[in-house]
Structure 1
């Protein structure tokens, strides 16, 4: 695999995608949906927030971007997981069905050049769609409470998760002869990572052997660690406390933080019942839970899944081919 070969395949694939009119319509629809969500959320939140009076409303005006940013990022991740399989689920078997893949394979391009170049082209479209959300992210920052560092970390994690889904979808495209089958299984994989992990956690919780103390979440927390929404929420930097300009005291956000709340909940799962009881007995009313992050395990799982998918794609593209899947064409 060479840098020049990867760049050559990437440029070719990206130009083909760019010249296709449907992707422009897809990007326009993406911006429209995100815009509509932002407007509706702002209207609903502003209506609810206006019911508060006194110091809470005054203080909350400096934190109003927090719930908007958290809800927006969760919504964007959900949309990204929906469109990501469509970016690469037909990149290999689609070219094979059209008889154009063999044209690349008979050149001096290595299998790694083709696999990585096609993956980067599909991933670039996903990152481009993510970049179109920057104006809405900027609006949430202007609303207050969301730092640039927090926004950058969250966007980076979303981009990584999009890349993982693209890699898995491309591997399925390389392994399966029919493009419709690879696309379907790509969405099944997304379902397994998002809803499937939660379902497995719920089903395993009664079997965790909690005994007198009840269910033992600390024994099955790892089942939800790979969940993309858990990874995103737990990896988001905590919202820093701000100093009240009137009293000089540090204050926590008076408004909800979707990312922070999900992150704290999944981190508490790692505590055993005995540790929770000991902490409550010694709690003096100050500070927050001493927690252990979950996102490193989940993100590592997803990155390994993506790396393994790239290796499978490279292996399936190697020539000469000794055995062909039934119904597969070369040219």
Structure 2
């Protein structure tokens, strides 16, 4: 592979995008939507302590959402679009190899997707300086976001080299992105509810029918007509219900781009051990899903002592992160599609789909 030829392919593809008026319109619409949404969100989160962390994480998540919606259009017709316009064949007869053509279009699509991150950069700077954010949160979230943009670009370019028609390749790219985002959530929800287990719940409660009106057995009362908690007595009931087993299917969420971004970011908690940003909220939800439900549960309201409540930070202690597994699966998918696309684009071709334009 020649880096100079690769750079030439990247430069040509980027110049074609820059000359398009629609490209600037798209970036402008993105900036306006981002400004409107985040102005409202910043005003809302500024009312509470630690709201700046929520604001920053919301910016990153929203940028990722917009990239997932736009990148398939930018990369889903990178190769077959040139073939359809009869501009791919003249490049193939030069010294540029097929690998350099496909990889060059991939890097060009990646850089184009990062343009949305550049547009959002002023908002990120404001959110960073508005509050005391952990530098590790900023570095890891931006790094994962850049990688996710590259993964989507690789999927789009790979599919565009495999599928002959631009319309079908863009649609296929959207379906793959939807499978990673919405599809994993659907599989998680349906799989967890389909795999159920029985749970027995035993409750011990006060016999409220034996308590005179105006008496509270949990509060000290000097009135002689108010019986004590020991005098009232308690009733015990037990019932069995089915609980979903999300702990058996939580692994499907590992490949979700939003879960990868949230799980790879160092968690931040408030003084009570609860998540203080959107990253920690999503990551803690996935971690809690790893915990299997207990076979038996018991509640005793006959004692005057309050039941201890564990914080989210305490509940997820001992669970394992999954972002690196999901990112590895995404890289395997993207790399496999690019390799397949290179094989389908290589010339001379032994077989072409019917109606494929070659010059």
TM superposition score category, shorter chain reference: 0.7 to 0.9
Is the CA contact (8 Å cut-off) linking 2:159 and 2:173 kept in structure 1?
A: yes
Q: Which residue of 2 aligns with 1:34?
A: 34
Q: TM-score, normalised by structure 2?
A: 0.79
Distance change in 2, residues 1:73/1:297 (3 Å):
same
Q: Which residues in structure 2 correspond to 1:169-180 (within 5 Å)? A: 169-180=156-167
Q: TM-score, normalised by structure 1?
A: 0.85
1:210: how far off? 2.9
Out of 149, 168, 175, the residue aligned to residue 181 of structure 1 is: 168
Q: Deviations over 1:235-283 (max 9, x none)?
A: 1112277xxxxxxxxx468884111011011012223335999xxxxx9
- Corresponding pairs, count: 304
Q: Matched residue of 1:210: which SS?
A: strand
The structure whose Rg is larger is 2
Q: Deviations over 1:131-165 (max 9, x none)?
A: 22111111111221423331121122112111111
1:95 aligned to 2:82? yes
Q: Which residue of 2 aligns with 1:244?
A: none
1:45: how far off? 3.0
Q: Which residue of 1 aligns with 2:117?
A: 130
Q: Which residues in structure 2 correspond to 1:159-308 (within 5 Å)? A: 159-212=146-199, 214-239=243-268, 251=271, 256-273=276-293, 288=314, 289-290=316-317, 291-308=319-336
Distance change in 2, residues 1:275/1:269 (3 Å):
farther
Distance 1:327 1:36 in 2: 46
- The structure where helix makes up a greater share of residues is 1
Distance 1:255 1:202 in 2: 23
Distance change in 2, residues 1:174/1:216 (3 Å):
same
Q: Which residue of 2 aligns with 1:21?
A: 21
Task: Could you tell me which runs of 5 or more consecutive residues in structure 2 were left unpaired when the two chains were aligned.
Answer: 200-241, 298-307
Q: Deviations over 1:9-28 (max 9, x none)?
A: 11111111112222122112
Q: Matched residue of 1:273: which SS?
A: coil
Q: Which residue of 1 aligns with 2:131?
A: 144
Aligned-residue CA RMSD (Å):
2.3
Task: Could you tell me which runs of 5 or more consecutive residues in structure 1 were left unpaired when the two chains were aligned.
Answer: 50-56, 242-250, 278-282
Distance change in 2, residues 1:148/1:32 (3 Å):
farther
1:284: how far off? 9.7
Q: Deviations over 1:81-104 (max 9, x none)?
A: 001101111111110111110111
